[in-house]
Amino acid sequence: MTLKEQAAEISANLEYPACPLCQSDRRRFPFPLHGPYSVARCIECGFHYLYPRLIESAMQEAYRQSSYYEGGACGYADTSYTAQESALRATFKRLLHNLAKRGLTGGDLLEVGCGYGYLLDEARSLFDRRVGTEFSAQGAEIARKTGAEVFVEGIEQVPAEPKFDCVIATQVIEHVYEPLTFVRQLANHTKPGGHVVIATPDIGGALRKAMGRRWPSFKAPEHVLYFDFRTLSALMHQAGLTNVRRLPYPHAFPLGLLTAKFGLTMPPLLARPKVWVPATTVAAYGRVSSA
C-alpha cells in the first residue's frame, strides 16, 4: 500500500467527536500532534480529548493484535510489554499497598484491561477471587497463567453476578470512547459498598506541563481522552460514585523506555533498571452506594 493509499484509509476511518464529557462542540486546539490529530480542549468544561480520532472499531482491532503488546503501539525498541514486566510489577505492588492501607483489598477483584496479568498476579494474597478482561486473546491466555479467570474483550463479557468488592481499571480509560457509560459499567459490576479504582495519565501533572506537546502520553490514535483529577473525579461522580478521593500512584518505568520516548536508544543491560517517575498518573477511587 502506498503512502497516499494509507493516508486515504486513515482518513476514511476518522470521526470528529463532540466533547466526550459534556457533548459541547466548542473547542480549542492547544496541542497539535502528528498527522491529522490534535488534542482539543472543550471550551465549556475544560476537558481534553483527541480530535479527530479513529473510529472505535478500527482502534479495537489494533488492541486485539498480539503485536500491540510486543513491539506494536505499546512497544518501544527493546521495551515491549514483556520487557517492562519488572517495572510494571513494582508499580502494581505500590498500588495494591496503597489500596490495602485504605481498606480496599479483600474479597473479589475485577481488573478491566489486565494485559498480561501482572497486577492480578501481585494481588494473589490480597483478594479471594481474581477476574480480568483483556481485548487481546493472546494477552488473556498469558494472564490466565496467574490463576485468574480472564475474559476476552471488554467488561461486557463479565457476567452481571456475582459482583466484585473492588473493580480496577489502570491505564484504560484514556482508550475509552464513551467514558460515562464505561464508568457506570464498572460501578454496575461492583458490590454495594465496594469501590471502583481508575488510573490514567495525568494531563494536569508536572511532567506534562514541563514537556508540553512532547508529553509521551499524547499517544495518537490510541489515547482519545486526557484527564486530570478534576475531570476524572467529576466523571466518577457523574457515574454515581460517592466519596471520590485521590489515590497515590507512583509509577516505575524501565530506563530504556524513558530514553526511547526521547528518541534515544540504550544497550539492553542499561535499559533494564527501573526508574520511579513522579507526576505521571492521576488515580482516584470512589464508593458504590449501598442504598
> For 174-208, how does the pLDDT look when each residue is reduced to its tens digit (9 = 90+)?
999 999 999 999 999 999 999 999 999 999 999 89
Do the Cβ atoms of 142 and 116 come closer than 8 Å? Answer: yes
CA nearest to 187, candidates 127, 240, 235: 240
Collapsing DSSP states into helix, strand and coil, what is residue 224?
A: coil
Boundaries of domain holding 17: 3-287
Q: Number of folded domains in the chain?
A: 1
Could you give the count of Cα atoms lying within 13 Å of 107 in the half-sphere of its Cβ?
18
For the chain, the maximum distance between any two Cα atoms, rounded to a whole number of angstroms, is 58
**Eight-class DSSP state of 289:** P
State the pTM of this model. 0.91
Dihedral of alpha carbons 68, 69, 74, 79, sign: negative
Stretch among 3-7, 162-166, 169-173 having the lowest mean pLDDT: 3-7
**CATH number of 65's domain:** 3.40.50.150
Tens digit of each residue's pLDDT (9 = 90 or more) over 55-104: 999 999 888 887 777 654 444 444 477 888 999 999 999 999 999 999 99
CA nearest to 179, candidates 2, 20, 7, 44: 20
